[in-house]
Chain A
Amino acid sequence: MALKIVKGSIDRMFDKNLQDLVRGIRNHKEDEAKYISTCIDEIKQELKQDNIAVKANAVCKLTYLQMLGYDVSWAAFNIVEVMSSSKFTYKRIGYLAASQCFHESTDVIMLTTNQIRKDLSSPNQYDTGVALTGLSCFVTPDLARDLANDIMTLVSHGDCVKRKRCSVLIMYKVFLKYPESLRPAFPRLKEKLEDPDPGVQSAAVNVICELARRNPKNYLSLAPLFFKLMTSSTNNWVLIKIIKLFGALTPLEPRLGKKLIEPLTNLIHSTSAMSLLYECVNTVIAVLISLSSGMPNHSASIQVMKYLGLLAMSKILKTHPKSVQSHKDLILQCLDDKDESIRLRALDLLYGMVSKKNLMEIVKKLMLHVDKAEGTTYRDELLTKIIDICSQSNYQYITNFEWSVSQPVTPHPPGISVSWWTIRVFAVAQMATLLDNAHLLTGSMQRNGICEVLYAAAWICGEFSEHLENPLQTLEAMLRPKVATLPGHIQAVYVQNAAKLFATVLKSQEGNTDSTTAQETSQLMIDRLPLFVQSANLEVQERASCILQLVKYIQKLQQKDVEVAEEVIALFAGELNPVAPKAQKKVPVPEGLDLDAWINEPPSESESEDEQPKAIFAKEEPKHSRPRHTEVDEKELARRREARKQEQANNPFYIKASPSSQKVYQDAPGVEHIPVVQIDLSVPLKVPGLPMSDQYVKLEEERRQKERAEKKKKEKKKRKEKRSGRGKKHDSGPESEEDITPAHMVDIVTEEMPENALPSDDDDKDPNDPHKALDIDLDKPLADSEKLPVRSHRAAEAPKSPAEDGDAESAATQEPKKKSGKEKREKKKDKDRDRKVSLKCSVSLQIQFSTSRIFNELSPSSFWVFNEKKSSKHKKKKQKKEKEEKEKKKKKKKHHHHHHHSDGGGEESVQNGTVEEEEPLPVSVYDIQGNLQDGSQVVVSVIFENKCDSFLKSMEFNVLDSLNSKLQRPEGSGPHDGLTVPFQLPPGVSNEARFVFTVQSIVMPQKLKGTLTFIVKDSSTHEKLDFKLHFTCTSYLITTPCYSDAFAKLLESGDLKGSSVRLEGVNMPFHHLLARICFHHHFSVVERIDSCASMYSRSIQGHHVCLLVKTSGQTVSIDAKCDEPTLLGNVLDEIKQTFSQC
C-alpha cells in the first residue's frame, strides 16, 4: 500500500493525472471552461511526447473530458497509438478511450484492424478481452468482414472462458454489420448453447435471443435446446432471455405453448425474483393468454407494479379486450394517480378499451381531466388521446356524430365530414350556426386556443356550401369586421371560403329574374374584402386581393346581365375525398417519368382557380378544380387542362383521383342506401345557439330528404360526368356489438388510395432496419461460396482496405494466381511487394489527411498539417513506369480523393499534373505561437514523423519568404537557403524542430509555401516535399486575462472599432461554445452572465480584441471591438470558420 502511495506521488510529480484533473475541475467551478481549455493544451503537449506512459495518461484524461462533452476526436490518432502499446495497462486505456470516442465514421479505425487482430490472438486473455470490448463499440462493416474469421476462431478454440464469452457476444455485432457471416458462423454459435460454462451459455442465449426476436422462424429448430436450458438454468437474467425467446417462437409453433405451460407455472410459483415473474406473466399474456388465470399483479400497491400491471394489461388488451374492459373503473382510477407515467399508461389502455357503449362516458371523464390537468404535456396528451379515441378505426365507435361534432374541443370535424358524407349535411348546419355565434366565442376561444374550430367550421361551410340553408347569412357572418381579430391562418380560410359561399349564392340566384340579391352580394363582398386586403398576414392579403378583383370583375359582368354563376362555381368545383395517410407513399412512379424534370416550361399564366387552401388541411389533399362545363371554347379548355396537368405533375402533393374508386361509386346502388342515423343525445351541448337535441332529429330528417331529392337530381344530371367518387362502403361495427344502443348503420368511406398502389403491409417496416439483412435461412446447407473471409492479400482492388503488415509475403503467396512461368511468378511477387509498399504509404498518407481534417475542424488557427506531401521523383518514376501502368490509374484516383480532403483549393491544380506515384514520406504537424517578447516574431514548431520504412537524413527546411513574413536564417546565408533540420529520422520516429519567422504586419492571414528536402538512406535518393504554412490571424493572438473593470474602461475609451458576426445553427451548450473560442482562438472569458459573455484577447503587437458573445437558440451573435479593423475582420472570419466546421 505504501509503495502504491509513493508510486502515485511520483506519477503526479511529472504529470497531472486523471485524479488531479477531476480535482482541478472541482476547484475551478467558476471558470471551468477556461481551466479545461488549459488542461487540453497540456494534454496536447503530453500527446506530443514519445513516452507512452505520458500519452496513456493524457488519453485517460481525454476520456474523462469526452464524457463531460468535449470533442476529443482530434486525438483519435493518439488513441490508436496508446491502443497499440504492448503494456496492458496502457492498452486498456487506449481501448477504453476508443470505445468511447470512436464511431463508424472515425477514419483512423481502419488502422486498428491489425492491432485488434494481434490482440485477439494474443496469449494474454486480458488483451483479448479489452480488444473485444472495444471492438463491440466501434465495429464497422469493414472491420466485421476482416475480423469475422478471427473472432470465429476464438469462439471455437478459445481455451479461456472469458474470451469465449466475449467473442460469442461480439458475433451479434458482427452479424449486424456483415450479415454474410451469419450462416457460416451459426453452427458454432449453436454449439455454444451447450457449453459447459454458464457464462458462455448465457452469451450465446443473448445473441440468439436478439437474432430470433427479429426473425424467429429461423430459430425454431433450437427450441428443444432452449427448453432444456430453461429447466436447468438458475440464472434469472438468462431465464428471462430464454422466456423472451420462447415468447417470440411460440406464435410460429403453437405446440410449443402447451409444452411451456408447466415450466412457466413452476417458475411463476417458485421464483422470488419479481423481474422473472413479470417476464413469465408477460410471455403468458403474449402467447398463452388462455392459460392465464387473471392478472396477478394489477392490484399491487407499489407504483412499480402498478405501472407494469398497466403495461401488461395493454398487452392483454390486444388479444382479449373483454377481460380488460371489466377493469375499466380501476384504470380510470389510475388516471387520478399523481405519477405521470402511470397516467399515460392508463390513457393508452383507455384508448384500446373504447367501445360504442362506453365511448361517451370515457370521453366525458377525460374531458373532466382536461379541466383539472396541470402541466401542458399531460393536457396535450389527454386531448390527443380524446381525439384518437374518437377517431379510432375511422370513427367506427362513434354512434352519435352530432354529439362529437358539437364537442367544441374536437378539431376533427373536417375529417369527419369528409369521411362521413352522411353526416356532412348536419355538420354544415352545425358549423354555420357556430360561425354565426363566433362573436360570442372568439373571446374565450382565443384564450383557450380552440378557435381552431372556427377554422374548420369555415372550411366546412365553404366546401359544402350547397348544403347551407342560408348561405348569404353565413357569408355575412364570415365577413364581419370582428373576424379580423382572429389569427391569420383562420382569416385566410375565412376569405377563401367566403369566395366559395359567394359562388353558391350566385348560383342560387341564377334562376331569379331579379338580379338585385346577386348584385347586393357582390357589393357586400366588395365592401368587406378591403378589410382583409389590409391584413398583416400575407396569405390573407393575397387571397383577399385576388378574390376582390374577381368579385369586381363579376360585378361588372352582372351589370351587363351576363350569366356568371356557372363559371364562378366552376372555380370551386370538385369533391374532396378522404385520402389515406399512406396514399402518397404508395403512388407508383410511372415508367419513364422523371418527377424532377420540367415537362414544359412552367406555365406563365397564373391560375387563380388552383389557388386552394393548400397548407390548411395537412391530411387532406389540395383540391384541384375540375371544371364541369364552362363556356370557354374547347381549345382554351384543352390548353388549361394541359397546364394544370403540368402543374399537377410538378406538384408533389397532388394525387390523382383514382378511377377505380369512381367506378365503385357509379356502381353503388345510388341514394337509397343512405342510412338513417337514429340520434340519441345525452350530452348537453356546449355551443350556444345550437339547436336542441330533439331538434336534431327533425332537422336531420328534413335535410336528408332534401338532400336525397337533390342528389337524385344531380345524379341524373351528371351521371356521365367525372366526379371523384367515394370508395366502397362496408358495414362498420362487429356483429357482437349489434345489440348496442342506437341501432346504426353507417358507411365508412374507404380512404382513397392512388391507383396501382400495392396492397402491401410492409409500410411499417423500416427498409433500413439492419436486422432485415439477418433474415437468412439458417437451415440450408452451406454453399462453397459462403465462407468467412480468411485473411488474404487484397491489394489495390480495395482502396479502403487496411494496410497489411509484415507477413505480406506469405499473404501474397496465398492469393490464387494463374501464372505459367516461374519467372513471371517471381516478377509478380515483386510487383505485389511493390504494390504493398506503396499501398502502405498511401494508407499512412491518408491518416495524415484525416488527422489534418480533424485538426482543421478543431483548430483552424494553429494546427495544420502539411497539405502537400507528394512530389514526383522523376528518376524513380521512369523506372517503375512500365510496371505500374495499371496501378497508376488507381493511384490517381486516390490522389483525387486525397485532394478532396485537403483544404487548399489552389493546390490541386498544381499537384494533379505532377504527382504520379507514392513515396515514403515524412509528415509533420505544426503549431504556430506568437512570441510575447518580440512583437514581430512567431515561432513555428514542426513535428516531423517518419512514416516510411527507411531512414531519413539530411533534411532541409526551406520557406519562400514573402514581403511580410521571413524565415529567420543564420547570419551569412542567402535569402533562399534552407535550414538544416538538426536531426535524422529512423523509421517510425518523430521529432520536433522550431523555426522563427519575422512578421511585419499581423492583420492579415497568410500562407507561405515551403519545401522539405531529405535523403532516403536505402536508396540514397533526394526527395522533396512541398508544404504550406498557414499563418492565421488567431495565431497572432495571445491568451491574456483581463479584469472586468479594465475591460469596461477599454470599451469606454472609444478608440476601438466595432464589427459583428452571426453564426447560425450552432448546436452546442454555451459553455462549450466559449471553451471553443477560448481554446481555438486564444481568448479568455472576462465575464459571463447567463447566455452572454464578454471575452478578451491581445495580439502580439498589442492590439486589444474584445468580444461580446450572445446566444439565443441556435444563433450566436458576436459583437467585437478592436483597434485594428482588418485584424478583427479576419479573426471573426476564422471564428466563423471554426463553427462552420463543427
Chain B
Amino acid sequence: MIKFVLMVNRQGQTRLSRYYQPVELSRRAALEADVVRCCLTRKKDQCSFVEYKDFKLVYRQYAALYIVVGVTDTENELSIYELVHNFVEVLDKYFSRVSELDIMFNLDRVHIILDEMIQNGHIVETNKSRILAPLTALDKMADG
C-alpha cells in the first residue's frame, strides 16, 4: 500500500504531503528532508525507484517539482509510477497547465483530487472525469 505522497520542489520545500500511515510530526520533517535528498541526488538517467529503509520510493520529476510516493515492498512499483503520471494529468486538466504555484495556492483542491484518487493508501479512482466531478461540483457551489 501507499505510505505517503509528497510533492517537493528542487529546493527541497514541501508543496504537498499526505500520509496514509501516521507519522509523528517531529519525524515528518526529517523524513521529508531525507526522502528529498534521496531523490534530488539522482540523475535523470537513473531509474525512478529508490529503496529507502524498509520501503520504496517511487518518484517522478516534472520540471522543478518532484512527486515522491512511498510504498511498501509489496506494491507494484510500475503501477505507482503510472499513477503519479495519472495524478499529474488530472492536475493538468483541472488547472489547465498546472504549475507549482497552482499547487501552492490551491492546496486544499489538490488534496481533494488526491483524496479522490488514493484513499487509505489504495488507488480507488483513476478515471479523470470521475476524479474531477466532486471538485467541479464544489466550484459550482462556490460560484453560485
Contact = CB atoms under 8 A, between A and B. Distances in A.
Q: Does chain A bind chain B?
A: yes
Interface of A: 3-4, 18-19, 22, 60, 63-64, 66-69, 71, 73, 88-89, 92-93, 96, 100-101, 103-104, 126, 129, 132-133, 136-138, 162, 165-166, 169-170, 172-173, 199, 202-203, 206-207, 210, 213, 235-237, 240, 244, 273-276, 278-279, 282, 302-304, 306-308, 338-342, 344, 1067-1069, 1072, 1142
A92 B78 contact: no
Given A3-B143, A274-B78, A1067-B26, A89 B47 contact: no
Contacts of B115: 133
B61 interface: no
Give the interface size bracket for B toward A.
Answer: 35 or more
Contacts of B26: 1067-1068, 1142
B107 interface: yes
B99 interface: no
Nearest 10 CB-CB pairs, A to B? A275-B78, A303-B47, A275-B79, A69-B29, A206-B122, A339-B46, A103-B22, A136-B120, A307-B47, A304-B47
B50 A341 contact: yes
B134 A126 contact: yes
A732 B112 CA distance: 60
A89 B141 contact: yes
Given A172-B120, A210-B1, A342 B22 contact: no
Contacts of B124: 165-166, 169, 199, 202-203, 206
Contacts of A172: 120, 122
Interface in B34-53: 45-51
A104 B24 CA distance: 10
B111 A19 contact: no
Given A67-B16, A88-B141, A308-B78, A170 B120 contact: yes
B132 interface: no
A1142 B29 CA distance: 15
Given A89-B141, A169-B120, A306-B47, A1069 B79 contact: no
Nearest to A274: B78
B29 A303 contact: no
A66 to B, nearest CB: 8
Given A136-B120, A303-B45, A67 B14 contact: yes
A68 B24 CA distance: 14
A190 B33 CA distance: 42
A273 B85 CA distance: 13
Given A199-B124, A273-B82, A4 B143 contact: yes
B65 interface: no
Given A166-B119, A278-B78, A1068-B29, A67 B143 contact: no
B126 A22 contact: no
Nearest to B23: A103
A861 to B, nearest CB: 21
Contacts of A22: 104-105
Contact of B76 (A71, A202, A275): A275
Given A69-B28, A104-B22, A202-B124, A60 B108 contact: yes
A1074 to B, nearest CB: 14
Contacts of A138: 22
A71 B48 contact: no
12 contacts: A89-B141, A104-B22, A170-B119, A199-B124, A207-B122, A244-B74, A275-B77, A303-B46, A304-B49, A341-B50, A344-B51, A1072-B29
A166 B111 CA distance: 16
B112 to A, nearest CB: 8
A133 B115 CA distance: 7
Contacts of A206: 122-124
The winner among A64, A68, A69, A104 for most chain B CB atoms within 10 A is A69
A968 to B, nearest CB: 41
Nearest to A22: B104
A273 B76 CA distance: 12
A68 B7 CA distance: 12
Contacts of A340: 46
B56 to A, nearest CB: 10
B81 interface: yes
Nearest to A340: B46
A96 B20 contact: no
Given A275-B81, A278-B78, A342 B123 contact: no
B29 A237 contact: no
B125 interface: yes
Contacts of A308: 49, 77-78
B17 A67 contact: yes
B76 A278 contact: yes
Nearest to B18: A100
Contact of B48 (A66, A133, A304, A1068): A304
Nearest to B79: A275
The winner among A206, A276, A302 for most chain B CB atoms within 10 A is A206
B63 interface: no
Interface string B100-112: 0000110110011
Given A67-B107, A73-B25, A103-B24, A129 B134 contact: yes
B49 A341 contact: yes
Contacts of A1067: 26, 30
B88 interface: no
Contacts of A240: 76, 79
Contacts of B64: none
B108 A18 contact: yes
Interface string B79-91: 1011100000000
Contact of B20 (A19, A137, A166, A303): A137
Nearest to A17: B105
Contacts of B83: 237
A68 B14 contact: yes
Given A173-B120, A303-B45, A63 B78 contact: no
A133 B116 CA distance: 9
Contacts of B29: 69, 1068-1069, 1072
B108 A93 contact: yes
A45 to B, nearest CB: 22
Contact of B107 (A64, A71, A169, A338): A64
Interface in B119-144: 119-120, 122-126, 130, 134, 137-138, 141-143
Contacts of B74: 213, 244
A89 B77 CA distance: 35
Contacts of B18: 100
A126 B137 CA distance: 10
Contacts of A4: 142-143
Contacts of A303: 45-47
B47 A96 contact: no
A237 B143 CA distance: 35
B47 to A, nearest CB: 4
Nearest to B139: A4
A203 B122 contact: yes
A1067 B125 CA distance: 39
Contact of A341 (B24, B46, B138): B46
A71 B27 CA distance: 12
Contacts of A100: 17-19
B47 A71 contact: no
Interface in B45-75: 45-51, 74
B108 A96 contact: yes
Contacts of A307: 47, 49
Given A4-B143, A93-B108, A341-B47, A169 B119 contact: yes
A170 B20 CA distance: 12
Contacts of B28: 69
A731 B92 CA distance: 65
B126 A89 contact: no
A235 B123 CA distance: 11
Contacts of A278: 76-78
B72 to A, nearest CB: 10
A339 B50 CA distance: 10
Contacts of A202: 123-124
Contacts of B104: 22
A275 B104 CA distance: 31
